[in-house]
Amino acid sequence: MTLKKIHVIPHGLYDQYGELLDTKEARRSLSINDELVILSFGLIRKYKGTSYLIRLLNSSLLRFLKKSRLLIVGEIWEDRKELLDQIKESPAHDKITLIDEYVPDDKVNLYFSAANVVVLPT
């Protein structure tokens, strides 16, 4: 059996984003009081599946609704009305926070510090 070459490419340092903040302080800054914060971060485009996260919150995560928040952060690039309507019509609309904006490097650590779980669609 011959072994194929494996190339390891290390991830970047990401030190331009600053240190993680205290979770409670980050959530206070974002006016979040929930125990579980699910962060979806990055450009918001249809193919990245943000709508699936909203549907997931509507169904299988119902038992966590009282203590959960879906925090969607990034610029909406397409289908704005469709996404806004989906959030508005969701039975969990009060547990979804949408921050539709470009996030500069100096604010990235705030959102990641507030999160328990991060969803990073490619």
Predicted confidence at residue 28, as pLDDT, reads 97
- Amino acid residing at 74: G
What is the per-residue pLDDT for 67?
83
pLDDT of amino acid 65: 67
Low-confidence ranges of the chain (pLDDT < 50): none
pTM of the model: 0.83
How many other C-beta atoms lie within 10 A of the C-beta of residue 22?
11
Report the share of the chain in percent with pLDDT over 70. Answer: 88
73 — alpha (psi -120 to 50), left (phi > 0) or beta?
A: beta
DSSP E strand stretches across 25-120 = 36-41, 68-73, 96-99, 117-119
